[in-house]
Amino acid sequence: MKVLKFGGTSVGSIASIQTLLNILGDEFKNQEKPVIVLSAMGGVTNLLASMAEDAAEGKEFTAALADLEKRHFDVVKSLLDVQNQNPAFTRLKIHFNQLEELLQGVLTLRELTPKTRDQILSFGERCSTIMVSKIAAQHFKDVLFVDAVEVIKTDSAFGNAKVNTELSEMLIRNLYEANKDKMLIVTGFIAGNDAGQTTTLGRGGSDYTAAIFGSALNAKEIQIWTDVNGMMTADPRMVKKAFSLTELTYTEAMELSYFGAKVIYPPTMIPAFLKKIPIVIKNTFEPEFEGTVIRHDCKASSLPIKGISSINNISILNLEGSGMVGKSGFSGRLFSLLAREQINVILITQSSSEHSITFAVQPQDTERAKQVIEQEFELELAAKKLEHLVIEKNLAILAIVGENMKQTPGMSGKLFHALGRNGVNVRAIAQGSSEYNISVIISANDLSKALNAVHDAFFVQLTKTLHAFCLGTGNIGKTLFNQLNAHSQYLKDNNGIQVKIAGISNTRKMTFNSDGISLDTWQDDLQASPYEADLQGFISKMKEMNLPNCVFIDNTASPVPIGFYEQVFKANISVITCNKIGNSGSYQQYRTFKDTARTHGVDFFYETNVGAGLPIINTLKNLMNSGDRVQRIEAILSGTISFIFNNFKGDANFHDVVKEAQEKGYTEPDPRDDLSGKDFMRKMLILARDAGYAMEEADVEIESVLPQASLEAKSVDDFYATLKTEDAHFAKLKDLAEKDGKVLRYIGKLENGKVTINLQMVDENHPFYMLSGSDNIISFITDRYKERPLVVKGPGAGAEVTAAGVFADLINLGVAP
Ligand SMILES: NC(=O)C1=CN([C@@H]2O[C@H](COP(=O)(O)OP(=O)(O)OC[C@H]3O[C@@H](n4cnc5c(N)ncnc54)[C@H](O)[C@@H]3O)[C@@H](O)[C@H]2O)C=CC1
Ligand SMILES: N[C@@H](CC=O)C(=O)O
Ligand code: NA
């Protein structure tokens, strides 16, 4: 046989009671009738409690009582045929009259004893059970209302009575045997003492009733019908990707029960655990959901952990001092004291040096704990054998739970990597040797970020979410958004990665959305945003949003964002940049970026600083990291100048070719940066630094391709004008090269710690002769690539290839352990 328990929401409305009847209908077809345990209608127990308290304070309760009555009567009117209604009204009315009398007594005496309170509370379950059993009787024959006061026997500890298991089980068995052909519908939560007075079973009481019946009758299963889809991997209000578990063990259920939205209160299920009866959590509002089964031993699961539980507000107390070292009985004294004072200790850690003990308590217990400890250890404190207690508030506990963790190395590594990577500081750690729970204490502000990051790290079958904050909506920024938009489904399906753009700013406006700004409407969203651009504001907001797997992307050509990188790294946020100004500033600044990113365990990626999307920075990094040494680099790294020399042929005019390069998106926002050689200089400097040379801009020897007048142009328009007036200068260069069958090439070289960039005329035997479009080419001569160089060649400028390089950096972020 089965026991089915329905919680408050399942009997809370006409619609839910109708669903309940359908469920009973299916069960009724079985040979063995189930036992049904019911809670009070949703909210009724709390209402009764506050009515009782109000009455004790002399306040009126009649209106609330009338509402309560009406809620039950409305259900009767809707769900019982007219001819069946009167008997139900009569039964209910008797109870409401008794309830009124009791409340009146409390009001008169201005006193609410635990015994009276239990009696008052019991009307919730009594009325819902009478009501539902009457309705059920209309549909099924042989329904029997059972008042649990008759069969569950307890002591007289009103409010939280202790069950006499042996006696209760015997009474339940007798009742069941005598009514085998009937469906028993039983009041949850309430019981009776020897004198027949009503007691209650405390927190989770109706689940307890179901477990007691299940145990007494050796039920094949106990179903707990509630309003959510079973036990989930995390609190779904905090972790949107939390999903329902199909199966977990009793131990796991116990450990996971810390969730805010408690599905069951596991201690009440102990009678079922002891008899190894499976407990199935079902959803009345989604009956087709197959349920979460909690059982003694589960099938092998592929999930590394079953879930992540959390408590979002705790305090820790830390007790330190030499007086504890090697002193047996110290922790006994401490924790006996707390137990005596009824202070619940949630977590304990002690270092093996025995120099300190840290423990967590509820915030409301903190001050009292401090007081009693200081009294108890007064002498040790005075003798400085103990230091004064340190209290820390606003903390949270996050715990990963699962029996699969046992003897599986790497679980704590994964947990701490996810936390560290996201800048979550761990204040204390606890893992029992049973290895099915690792708990960490962190700042309450970080809880949401930590839960999501840890959930992403463990449940790899789910899509991992990156949160990107993007500066710059120009050529590159815009193209990146288009690429992300077009490719998002592929990334989800093939890489399990979802990129959410959580913030965008250009020089005018900024906008934010932790659920991701739509990549179809971002321009309108930005336009409509109330926030004026403010870089410090943008970064502060990014920190404040505290999202997991966060990255800052600089797609500007501005020096301003550079000043903020360090602050971003220090907030444990990775940086991706196509802006070369940062890495080509002072060497000191370049080093600071690298070192700060490393000490904070985040990435600093800038592949597009050299050769746009071409794999140049990563190639050099791999050479260096694997112990190679650069002997010489020779390269063409200005896409713009490359394009110009590849197209400045025959009758072509220099001015028009430069214009075309700009229109094609190859140039910097200011094309003078390209033609002056500055952009090339920046790239060579970055390469030289990545190759291990602590070089400054002044160490680069650079020959310009421009005549003096162009170099001195005060504006971009003036600059273009000089290209026209200086046409002869460029034509001369071209003719000189063409005369000897050569081509013009602007070539950079790094050798022996020296960088030069100059204009050369090369013939067809030169490896850099054959280039077209905006091609870049780089040849690395290293200790290992000595005979023949390692060469990378291809288009080295343009919005598509550059945005693609930024995109690749994004996907390569080491968010996954
Ligand atoms: N075009 C190419 O082939 C390549 C370009 N790059 C780099 O890409 C970067 C961007 O280039 P484009 O998109 O062509 O420039 P752009 O001028 O088209 O766009 C720059 C964007 O940055 C924004 N911006 C500037 N200062 C800002 C600030 N302080 N705060 C917020 N936003 C700010 C502007 O509002 C604009 O939206 C440059 O650093 C360039 O060197 C790198 C490799 C190749
Ligand atoms: N303007 C640059 C673009 C790449 O960094 C170039 O022309 O190479
Ligand atoms: Na590159």
Amino acid, res. 328: S
CA–CA gap between residue 456 and residue 65 (Å, rounded): 48
Phi, psi of 263 (to 5 degrees): -85, -50
446 lines ligand 2 (CB under 6 A): no
Report field, pTM of the whole predicted structure over 0.80: yes
Pocket of ligand 1 (CB under 6 A): 471-477, 505-507, 533, 535, 555-558, 560-561, 578-580, 608, 612, 639, 665-666, 668-669, 797-799, 802
DSSP state of 246: S
- The per-residue b/e assignment along 577-591, b for 16 or more CB within 10 angstroms, e otherwise, is bbbbbbbbbebebbe
On the question of pLDDT at 126 being above 90, the answer is yes
Q: Which of 389-393, 403-407, 462-466 has the lowest mean pLDDT?
A: 403-407
- Arithmetic mean of pLDDT, 237-253: 91
Q: Which residue has the CA at smallest separation from atom 2 of ligand 2?
A: 667
Point out the ligand 1 atom lying closest to the alpha carbon of residue 679: 41
Is residue 805 helix, strand or coil?
Answer: helix
What pLDDT digit, counting tens, does each position of 269-294 carry?
889 999 999 999 999 999 889 999 99
Q: Which residue has the CA at smallest separation from atom 42 of ligand 1?
A: 578
Confidence of residue 259 (pLDDT cuts 50, 70, 90): low
Residue count of the chain, please give it.
Answer: 817
Is the CB of residue 640 less than 8 Å from the CB of residue 653? no
ipTM: 0.98
Is the CB of residue 438 less than 8 Å from the CB of residue 400? yes
Closest ligand to Cα 605? 3
- Between the CA of 357 and the centroid of ligand 1 the distance, in Å, is 53
Beta strands at 247-249 and 292-295: parallel, antiparallel or unpaired: parallel
Residues pairing with 750 in the sheet:
633, 755
Confidence of residue 815 (pLDDT cuts 50, 70, 90): low
User: What six digits make up the tokens of 355?
Assistant: 């120099």
CA–CA gap between residue 375 and residue 404 (Å, rounded): 44
Is the CB of residue 636 less than 8 Å from the CB of residue 680? no
CA–CA gap between residue 739 and residue 755 (Å, rounded): 30
- Between the CA of 746 and the centroid of ligand 3 the distance, in Å, is 18
Is the CB of residue 554 less than 8 Å from the CB of residue 576? yes
Q: Which residue has the higher pLDDT, 551 or 388?
A: 551
Instruction: Identify the pLDDT of residue 365.
Output: 94
Q: Which residue has the higher pLDDT, 141 or 517?
A: 517
Helix 654-663 with 727-739: angle, nearest 10 deg: 100
- Between the CA of 667 and the centroid of ligand 2 the distance, in Å, is 5
CA–CA gap between residue 54 and residue 61 (Å, rounded): 7
CA–CA gap between residue 38 and residue 135 (Å, rounded): 13
SS3 string, 486-533, reads HHHHHHHHHHCEEEEEEEEECCCEEEECCCCCCCCCHHHHHHHCCEEC
On the question of pLDDT at 817 being above 50, the answer is no
Q: Cα 551–552–555 angle (5° rounding)?
A: 135
Best probe residue, ligand 1, of 469, 470, 473, 475 (max atoms within 8 Å of C-beta) = 475
- Between the CA of 614 and the centroid of ligand 3 the distance, in Å, is 4
Is the CB of residue 555 less than 8 Å from the CB of residue 579? yes
645 lines ligand 2 (CB under 6 A): no
Phi, psi of 397 (to 5 degrees): -110, 135
Instruction: Identify the pLDDT of residue 436.
Output: 86
Instruction: Identify the pLDDT of residue 331.
Output: 81
Is 555 exposed, middle or buried, given 0-12, 13-18 or 19+ CB atoms closer than 10 A? buried
Confidence of residue 323 (pLDDT cuts 50, 70, 90): confident
Is 770 exposed, middle or buried, given 0-12, 13-18 or 19+ CB atoms closer than 10 A? exposed
On the question of pLDDT at 308 being above 50, the answer is yes
Question: What percentage of residues in the chain have a pLDDT greater than 70?
Answer: 98
Point out the ligand 2 atom lying closest to the alpha carbon of residue 661: 7
Phi, psi of 35 (to 5 degrees): -100, 130
Point out the ligand 2 atom lying closest to the alpha carbon of residue 638: 8
How many H-runs (helices) and E-runs (strands) does the chain carry?
28, 29
Point out the ligand 1 atom lying closest to the alpha carbon of residue 473: 37
Q: Edge-to-edge strands of the sheet including 292-295?
A: 143-146, 183-187, 35-38, 2-6, 221-226, 279-283, 292-295, 247-249
CA–CA gap between residue 332 and residue 152 (Å, rounded): 37
Question: What percentage of residues in the chain have a pLDDT greater than 90?
Answer: 81
CA–CA gap between residue 208 and residue 161 (Å, rounded): 12
CA-based nearest residue to 262, from 303, 219, 230:
230
Point out the ligand 2 atom lying closest to the alpha carbon of residue 580: 5
Best probe residue, ligand 2, of 616, 638, 682, 778 (max atoms within 8 Å of C-beta) = 638
Q: Which residue has the CA at smallest separation from atom 4 of ligand 2?
A: 797
Is the CB of residue 385 less than 8 Å from the CB of residue 325? no
Kind and range of the H or E element at 340?
A: helix 330-340
Best probe residue, ligand 1, of 481, 556, 581 (max atoms within 8 Å of C-beta) = 556
Q: Which residue has the higher pLDDT, 531 or 356?
A: 531
Residues pairing with 200 in the sheet:
190
CA–CA gap between residue 591 and residue 514 (Å, rounded): 32
797 lines ligand 2 (CB under 6 A): yes
In sequence order, which ranges of 356-494 are alpha helices (DSSP H)?
366-376, 378-382, 411-421, 447-458, 475-490
Q: Whole-number mean pLDDT of the chain?
A: 93
Amino acid, res. 408: T
Measured in whole angstroms, the distance separating CA 358 from the mean position of its chain's CA atoms is: 26
Handedness of CA 420, 421, 424, 425 (dihedral sign): positive
Point out the ligand 2 atom lying closest to the alpha carbon of residue 667: 1
DSSP state of 232: B
CA–CA gap between residue 270 and residue 564 (Å, rounded): 56
User: What six digits make up the tokens of 575?
Assistant: 């940086």
CA–CA gap between residue 565 and residue 582 (Å, rounded): 9
Q: Would you name the residues annotated as active-site residues?
A: 683
- Arithmetic mean of pLDDT, 314-341: 85
- Between the CA of 476 and the centroid of ligand 1 the distance, in Å, is 6
CA-based nearest residue to 129, from 2, 20, 36, 51:
36
On the question of pLDDT at 754 being above 50, the answer is yes
Is the CB of residue 190 less than 8 Å from the CB of residue 126? yes
Q: Which residue has the higher pLDDT, 235 or 701?
A: 701
Is the CB of residue 758 less than 8 Å from the CB of residue 780? no
Q: Which residue has the CA at smallest separation from atom 31 of ligand 1?
A: 506
- Between the CA of 616 and the centroid of ligand 2 the distance, in Å, is 14
Instruction: Identify the pLDDT of residue 816.
Output: 46
The residue ranges of DSSP E strands in 178-283, in sequence order, are 183-187, 190-192, 198-200, 221-226, 247-249, 279-283
- Between the CA of 610 and the centroid of ligand 1 the distance, in Å, is 15
On the question of pLDDT at 485 being above 60, the answer is yes
